[in-house]
Structure 1
């Protein structure tokens, strides 16, 4: 449906251009989730926020889950699903905790360290090769993260910096498990297992921290689930249209979004080092795209000779 709407609005775009446009939108939507979490977390615990997020996602997936229940029960990757669920649950909870206590740009920058963790885990668990050029761009991106976060030894700041890193590691575990499971199972299986079992994991601690939400808070909790589901849907469509390398690197624009929205909504003013760090992070995303384009051009020139 998203693709059809985009085709009506801009029929002359290439698939890569459509993927880029959708990635820009999905990145903004997902950042809005963080903003709403920041607002509602003043009174509602992160476990309860994650629980409501999953309830909305389960409700949206329920018709498809019912239609494919038999197939979903026949999964042969239960161990990988378990690790993915644990990674996703810890990633969501720790990321929400971090964004509730750190400036938006710093929490966003910390989330980018999952790229470093994915590189390491995919090498160890999937046997994938990470070349020197990829290692260099990861190192550049990590340098940008350090410049934005500017970690200190203040107990409170250090605590939430560590939760941000731990959340990024959890997200990386989930991402690597997705790569593993997707070799043999459909996307619905990936989404259904995570939606249901992350919801169950969140339900247990939610019982101990439950706060009855006001009507406004309930609407915000439902909005978090709706935006998260919408952002994921648009992102998946972006990846289905554009080249993965291009779409992935477009998502680095989130650091710019976070600085602008952090200033407009929470009056968070980044210092010069943070702005430099954001520039470095963007460069780490742009470099692979430029490099791949130069490779393609050289290959085309060689083929034409």
Structure 2
């Protein structure tokens, strides 16, 4: 099932032909835009589910479905999976991913979506700092400019309230952003020598096992409707993760992380289509600023190739 979905969505011949015409940076940014859109949709489902189910149970279902989708690829690549490289980085990545998923789910379920989205963008800043220290990636003046401009655009859109009663959930969002940044850097480092199936299988299995024990104590049998939502969370996030990991093979971590800012634009679109929420003038201006910030690395890369 997993291979069928990937083959018919990500690896369609016409899509690949168009994709091959892009520069490496443009390929990375394009994949990151798609991955971010899918994860934004997952966030909407998680918010709805968290009203009735514990975070551990939602997370466990996500990982269980992920593992089922990966099962054929795991069996086919068992020899590779039993001989991993850079084991410490795999462990660190799993720890970062679990932190990001668990505390991210808690944050998005307990404070306004706009505030949760704003806090999540701290990941961009964390990635830039860690990438410079751990990977030696160059953070140029133009990179710093796009990060700052993108963050300003986000604040223009969401104008978060951050009430005192929400402090604990804001802190959980900061922790989630730091965990996500650690996972991103590990993916960037490991993806150069490990196949994507190794990255995905280890995370799916480890995080699913971590979430299993508390889920057994907090279990609540889902309704048919909620089961379908849980299924969608697993399927969509699996595809999003595959595409997201692929993005880091083509571009620097701090460039890909900057695309996270576009998540707020996706959120505005979802708000209009699903919740009939019409953005105000500040939101429209802010969204334009964010879009310019996220796409600027792609435009600079295209301009450099022409020169």
| TM-score, normalization by structure 2 | 0.82
Aligned equivalents of 2:242, 2:107: Cα separation in 1: 24
Residue of structure 1 equivalent to 2:268: 259
User: Residues 32-111 of structure 1 correspond to what in structure 2 (within 5 A)?
Assistant: 32-111=41-120
Residue of structure 1 equivalent to 2:22: 16
Aligned equivalents of 2:11, 2:78: Cα separation in 1: 29
Q: CA deviation at 1:99?
A: 2.1
SS of residue paired to 1:16: coil
- String of CA shifts for 1:213-260, please: whole Å, max 9, x gaps: 1222122111110111122344556777x8779977666443222012
Query: Is 1:214 aligned to residue 220 of structure 2?
Result: no
Aligned equivalents of 1:111, 1:286: Cα separation in 2: 19
Residue of structure 2 equivalent to 1:198: 207
Aligned equivalents of 2:103, 2:77: Cα separation in 1: 32
Closer/same/farther in 2, CA of residues 106 and 265 from structure 1, 3 Å limit = farther
- String of CA shifts for 1:177-206, please: whole Å, max 9, x gaps: 112222332221111111100111111332
User: Residues 97-176 of structure 1 correspond to what in structure 2 (within 5 A)?
Assistant: 97-176=106-185
Q: CA deviation at 1:117?
A: 0.8
Aligned equivalents of 2:115, 2:71: Cα separation in 1: 36
Gaps of 5+ in 1: 301-305
Q: CA deviation at 1:261?
A: 1.1
Closer/same/farther in 2, CA of residues 161 and 248 from structure 1, 3 Å limit = closer
- String of CA shifts for 1:48-98, please: whole Å, max 9, x gaps: 111100001111112222233333222242221111111101111122222
Aligned equivalents of 1:235, 1:227: Cα separation in 2: 12
Closer/same/farther in 2, CA of residues 141 and 190 from structure 1, 3 Å limit = same
Contact kept, 8 Å, 1:33 with 1:227, in 2: the verdict is yes
Which region of structure 1 is more displaced relative to structure 2, 258-267 or 29-38? 258-267
- String of CA shifts for 1:3-28, please: whole Å, max 9, x gaps: 55351x89777633995776655443
Which region of structure 1 is more displaced relative to structure 2, 15-24 or 32-41? 15-24
Residue of structure 1 equivalent to 2:3: none
Q: CA deviation at 1:130?
A: 1.2
Aligned equivalents of 1:193, 1:124: Cα separation in 2: 25
| TM-score, normalization by structure 1 | 0.82
Aligned equivalents of 1:248, 1:142: Cα separation in 2: 12
